[in-house]
Amino acid sequence: MAIITLDSFDVGTISEIYDQDGNVKEDAWKHDSYHYMHYCMNQIENHGGINKIVLDLSLNGGGSLAAMEKVAGFLTDEKIPLSTYVRMSRAVSPL
- Give the whole-number percent of the chain exceeding pLDDT 90: 75
The pLDDT-based confidence of 94 (bands split at 50, 70, 90) is confident
- Number of structural domains found in the chain: 1
* Arithmetic mean of pLDDT, 3-31: 97
The pTM for the full model equals: 0.82
45-89 pLDDT, tens digit per residue, is 999 899 999 999 999 999 998 999 999 998 888 888 888 888 899
- CA–CA dist 50, 28 (Å, integer): 24
- CA–CA dist 69, 93 (Å, integer): 17
Instruction: Give the residue numbers spanning the domain of 57.
Output: 2-94
Q: Are 50 and 40 in contact (CB under 8 A)?
A: no
- CA–CA dist 36, 50 (Å, integer): 18
Check whether 95 has a pLDDT greater than 90: no
